[in-house]
Structure 1
Amino acid sequence: MVQPLVFAVGIIGNILSFLVILAPVPTFYRVYKKKSTESFQSVPYAVALLSAMLWLYYALLTSDLLLLSINSIGCLMFTVKLVCSMNLALFGAMVAVLQLCVKGDRRVTLAGGIGASFALAVFVAPLTIIRQVIRTKSVEFMPFWLSFFLTLSAVVWFFYGLLMKDFFVATPNVLGLLFGLAQMVLYVVYKNPKKNAAVSEAAAAGEAQQVEVKDQLQMQLQASPAVAPLDADLEAAASATPEPSADHTDVVIGRRSVVVDIPPPPQPPPALPAVEVA
């Protein structure tokens, strides 16, 4: 009963892993069509290529046909995306050291541990763009289907490793599930880039309008002669103002003292001469 169940879970895992491998195809086509990688990260694909090669070697050591088949396809697919000489050199060095310097079960243990470490790196790699996603409030350069199928694949391969009692397969997929859920949360938060962009544009427009109004007010203040000078000019204006005479008085308008001429009060009419009446 256990063997058919293990085989069925392994087949499902292979199918989901194949979907993971196919998920970046639209990204590959976009890069090829635009002749530019834009803001897409190459780290996830470089790590995935190295991980697939390491799991291929581990499958050869353990004679696991399911792991062998899917990782062969993975190596081919990710090599199409990029061929990094450093990755190939690192993989070759690891295989050479394990083959020549390590024997027996210890070789399987070391190969499984290294493979599990790089499997974790595959799940973590898409998170390198989280900072950009939060800053731009857009998930345009964080492929949804890659994150989605990585999450499903992590669940299935966890159960496969659990049933096979292979903790090198099961352990990294626990964290893979957590990282996948974190990416799904990002998609829920930033799934509507148009709305987020509209809010950002509205805020930017409001700030620009405030700056424009402020500039206009400053220009009007500078052009108007009736407006009092500012702090530094007030003292100079006050010291240069002559002392008012009796016919002058100070009137305070706003923050400025203005000298205003006051006309003299009207004089009473002259008295008429007295006329004697006979």
Structure 2
Amino acid sequence: MDILRFLCGILGNVVSLLLFLAPMTTFKRIIRNQSTEQFSGVPYVVTLLSCSLYTWYGLPFMSPDNLLLLIISVIGVVIELTYVWIFITYAPKKERAKIMVLSGLALILILTFALVSLFALHSKTRKLFCGIMLDIFSTITYASPLSIIMLVIKTKSAEFMPFLLSLLFFLCGIFWLAYGLLSRDPFLIVPNGLGTGLGIAQLILYAKYRKNQSHTKNEVRDEFGEMDLEKTDQNEETELPR
């Protein structure tokens, strides 16, 4: 069982890393054009917050024997920090201020979370508090594909839901769900169970509506997950090929 748990953790790390790196094409475009255009930086701030909470939860004094969770969470924090920094650098003044405020609020929340759990709580109460907070923000992060799912149902087309990202999203959920089950950790089971369910829903919708896609390929807008669909109503002539 320990070997199986370790294997699930390794696979979860690999798939999570691929999801973290998925928005690289978007940020290459932002750097090349020196503009964030209509992209939203909010998903990256939310993912940064989620990764930070996972990092804290994965520390040995919080939940022992969660090294694999800790490693990918730290990597996620570094990658998402890079995305947020690039976004702030090239965003218009109004959008830059918005992301800086959100980033500041996220930092305050993380520090408050850490200080409360470290000094005000002890033992099982500390883990319970951290686990509940982790589940809340993990659920918010995992719920981001709901907008994509609703768009697919509305348009009856999987054009804006790339198969590879949907598959990675599902695999990420299933591997970390298995890891949580083998660890008997309810705080990993709940959000990843939700993520697995949403991943299955995306794959089913893709199978149902894939034939309705137009011949025009559209650039992926978000990544963690993490796709930004705010430009789906833009003229396709402004899109760059993937």
- 1:22 lines up with 2:43 in the alignment: no
Which residue does the alignment assign to 2:51? 52
- 1:184 lines up with 2:186 in the alignment: no
Instruction: Name the CA distance, whole Å, in 1 between partners of 2:40 and 2:164.
Output: 15
RMSD: 2.8
Identity between Structure 1 and Structure 2 (%): 38
**Shift of residue 20 of structure 1?**
1.6
Higher RCO, 1 or 2 (CA under 8 Å, sep at least 6)? 2
Relative to the length of structure 2, the TM-score reads 0.70
Instruction: Tell me which amino acid in the other structure corresponds to 2:17.
Output: F
Which residue does the alignment assign to 1:274? none
Which residue does the alignment assign to 1:100? 119
Relative to the length of structure 1, the TM-score reads 0.62
- On the 8 A contact 1:43/1:125 being kept in 2, the answer is no
Residues 220-235 of structure 1 aligned to structure 2 (within 5 Å):
none
Instruction: Name the CA distance, whole Å, in 2 between partners of 1:35 and 1:144.
Output: 29
- 1:194 lines up with 2:215 in the alignment: yes
- 1:157 lines up with 2:176 in the alignment: yes
Instruction: Name the CA distance, whole Å, in 2 between partners of 1:35 and 1:58.
Output: 36
**Shift of residue 131 of structure 1?**
5.2
- On the 8 A contact 1:53/1:91 being kept in 2, the answer is yes
**Shift of residue 97 of structure 1?**
1.8
Secondary structure (helix, strand or coil) at the match of 1:194 reads coil
Instruction: Tell me which amino acid in the other structure corresponds to 1:33.
Output: R
Instruction: Name the CA distance, whole Å, in 2 between partners of 1:195 and 1:185.
Output: 22
Change (3 A) 1:129 1:194: same
Instruction: Tell me which amino acid in the other structure corresponds to 1:32.
Output: I
Instruction: Name the CA distance, whole Å, in 2 between partners of 1:137 and 1:34.
Output: 33
Which runs of 5 or more residues in structure 1 are unaligned?
A: 198-278
- On the 8 A contact 1:123/1:180 being kept in 2, the answer is no
Which residue does the alignment assign to 2:130? 111
Instruction: Name the CA distance, whole Å, in 1 between partners of 2:25 and 2:203.
Output: 19
Of 168, 188, 192, which aligns to 1:173? 192
**Shift of residue 146 of structure 1?**
3.8
Instruction: Name the CA distance, whole Å, in 2 between partners of 1:56 and 1:106.
Output: 18
Deviation sequence 1:84-113 (CA, Å, 0-9, x none): 222112111211222222111110111112
Larger Rg: 1
Of residues 98-107 and 42-51 in structure 1, the stretch that sits farther from structure 2 once superposed is 42-51
Deviation sequence 1:216-258 (CA, Å, 0-9, x none): xxxxxxxxxxxxxxxxxxxxxxxxxxxxxxxxxxxxxxxxxxx
Which runs of 5 or more residues in structure 2 are unaligned?
A: 86-102, 219-242
**Shift of residue 187 of structure 1?**
3.9
**Shift of residue 6 of structure 1?**
1.5
Aligned residues: 196
Change (3 A) 1:128 1:46: farther
Instruction: Name the CA distance, whole Å, in 2 between partners of 1:110 and 1:6.
Output: 25
**Shift of residue 171 of structure 1?**
1.8
Which residue does the alignment assign to 1:268? none
Deviation sequence 1:153-179 (CA, Å, 0-9, x none): 110111111111111111211110111
